[in-house]
């Protein structure tokens, strides 16, 4: 073969093809998207554009219905005992939504449930919205700071710490005597509580989310001396505040899946209405055991996750 012809053949074989491939294109999987996100963040230290996860908006109808049902149940449970995020966050991860988008979308849907329960409790006089506004604003500030941190903190921190915190809360409510709807003498004033523990727990809600209602409940009962029903009502107001703070940050970060969030938000709103009415009718006799069950169940669920670092530490 002449040298010139051989050179042309080599050039043709090595030149990148501009023709469309005859092989069918394969859309990137969620794991591939997550890998792209981690590599991109490691290089640029910035958030990926929402268009990188555009495919996630095209969730099928049956998955949306499943997420709606999960949100309804979460709103029902959360309006009574907190911990609704421990239902919705795993549900969203299960359908393939990446962690950061899960946190942002969870804020959108959970704020609907918190608002619904707050309205229901306020109508019956269990929480005074005007007098508790400063405390709610502190929760907003804490939620905004926490959500800012969530965009840079690795998620393994939550999976390591949260199960043990939930078990501790469950043991407290299970074995602490005289936990009822009667108010007791608090260990600190509501004002001091509002400037210390409220922004701290709100910070946790913005950074992670799941279990926030349980933490607020524990703090109101043990530190402020509220009865179970009043603690539940005030928890929903502060949940609304911390969710709002986190939501503001996540909106500007562009990590919210609006179709998913609004669908689940409707489920949360309806579930919270049903749950809060039942809680006001039964009180501590319902709130206390449900809180214990929720904390233990999801602590076990988190520890059972094969990717949880605690399992490798324990050799499981």
Q: pLDDT per residue over 139-195, tens digit each?
A: 999 999 988 886 666 556 667 777 887 888 888 888 877 777 777 877 898 889 999
Q: What is the pLDDT of residue 288?
A: 81
Question: Would you say 212 and 110 are in contact if contact means Cβ atoms under 8 Å apart?
Answer: no
Q: What is the pLDDT of residue 199?
A: 95
State yes or no: pLDDT of 229 exceeds 50.
yes
Contacts of 295 (CB under 8 A, 6+ apart): 83, 166, 167, 169, 170, 173, 211, 214
8 part of a folded domain? no
Residue 48 inside a domain? The answer is no
Domain membership of residue 33 (yes or no) is: no
| Predicted local distance difference test score (pLDDT) of residue 16 | 47
Encoding tokens for residue 105?
């979308």
Where does the pLDDT of residue 5 fall: very low under 50, low under 70, confident under 90, or very high at 90 and above?
very low
Confidence (pLDDT) at 155 = 59
**Residue span of the structural domain in which 215 resides:** 56-314
b or e along 281-303 (b: 16 or more beta carbons within 10 Å of the residue's beta carbon)? Answer: eebbebbbebbbebbbebbeebb
What's the rounded mean pLDDT across residues 251-264? 91
Please determine, for residue 13, whether its predicted confidence score (pLDDT) is greater than 90: no
- Indicate if the pLDDT at residue 89 is higher than 70: yes
Domain count, the chain: 1
Diameter over CA atoms, the chain: 100
> What does the block give as tokens for 11?
């050039």
Q: Please state, as a whole number, how many other Cβ atoms lie within 10 Å of the Cβ of residue 63.
A: 15
Mind giving me the DSSP string for the chain? --HHHHHHHHHHHHSPP-SPPSSPP-PPPHHHHHHHHHHHHHHH-SPPPGGGGGGGG---HHHHHHHHHHHHHHHHHHHHHS-THHHHHHHHHHTT--HHHHHHHHHHHHHHHHHHHHHHHHHTTSS-TTTTHHHHHHHHHHHHHHHHHHTTS-THHHHHHHHHHHHHHHHHHHH-S--SSS----SS-HHHHHHHHHHHHHHHHHHT-TTHHHHHHHHIIIII---HHHHHHHHHHHHHHHHHHHHHHHHHHT---HHHHHHHHHHHHHHHHHHHHHHHHHTHHHHHHHHHHHHHHHHHHHHH-TT-HHHHHHT-
Which among 49, 15, 17 has a CA at the least distance from the CA of 33? Answer: 49
Query: What's the whole-number mean pLDDT along residues 257-267?
Result: 94
Three-class SS of residue 20? coil
pLDDT tens by residue, 41-61: 444 444 444 444 444 556 788
Mean pLDDT calculated for residue range 81-108? 84
Asked if pLDDT for residue 285 goes beyond 90, the answer is no
Q: Examine residue 280 and state whether it is found in any structural domain, yes or no.
A: yes
How far is the first Cα of the chain from the last one, in angstroms, to the nearest whole number? Answer: 64
Backbone dihedral angles phi then psi of residue 244, each to the nearest 5 degrees: -65, -45
Looking at the domain assignment, is residue 162 inside a domain?
A: yes
- Whether pLDDT at 208 is above 60: yes
**Structure-model confidence comparison of residues 102 and 150, the more confident one:** 102
- Tokens, residue 171: 């043991």
For CA atoms 85, 88, 90, 96, the dihedral sign is: negative
């Amino acid at each position: 073969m002449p040298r010139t012809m051989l050179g042309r053949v080599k050039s043709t074989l090595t030149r990148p093809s501009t023709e469309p491939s005859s092989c069918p294109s394969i859309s990137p999987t969620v794991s591939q998207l997550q890998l792209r996100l981690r590599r991109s963040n490691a290089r640029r230290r910035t958030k990926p554009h929402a268009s990188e996860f555009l495919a996630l908006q095209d969730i099928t109808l049956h998955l949306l219905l499943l997420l709606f049902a999960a949100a309804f149940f979460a709103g029902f449970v959360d309006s009574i005992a907190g911990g609704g995020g421990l239902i919705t966050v795993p549900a969203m991860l299960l359908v393939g939504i990446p962690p950061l988008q899960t946190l942002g979308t969870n804020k959108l849907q959970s704020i609907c449930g918190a608002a619904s329960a707050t309205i229901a409790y306020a109508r019956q006089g269990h929480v005074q919205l005007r007098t508790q506004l400063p405390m709610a604003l502190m929760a907003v500030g804490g939620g905004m700071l926490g959500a800012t941190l969530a965009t840079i903190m690795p998620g393994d921190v939550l999976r390591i710490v949260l199960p043990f915190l939930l078990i501790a809360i469950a043991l407290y409510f299970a074995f602490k005597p005289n936990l009822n709807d009667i108010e007791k003498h608090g260990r600190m004033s509501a004002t001091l509580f509002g400037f210390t523990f409220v922004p701290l727990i709100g910070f946790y809600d913005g950074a992670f989310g799941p279990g926030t209602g349980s933490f607020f409940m524990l703090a109101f009962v043990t530190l402020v001396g509220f009865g179970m029903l009043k603690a539940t009502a005030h928890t929903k107001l502060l949940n609304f505040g911390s969710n709002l703070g986190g939501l503001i940050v996540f909106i500007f970060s562009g990590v919210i899946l609006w179709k998913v969030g609004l669908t689940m938000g409707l489920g949360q709103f309806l579930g919270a209405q049903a749950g809060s009415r039942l809680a006001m009718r039964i009180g501590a006799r319902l709130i206390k055991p449900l809180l214990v069950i929720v904390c233990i169940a999801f602590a076990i669920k988190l520890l059972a996750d094969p990717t949880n670092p605690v399992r490798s530490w324990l050799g499981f």
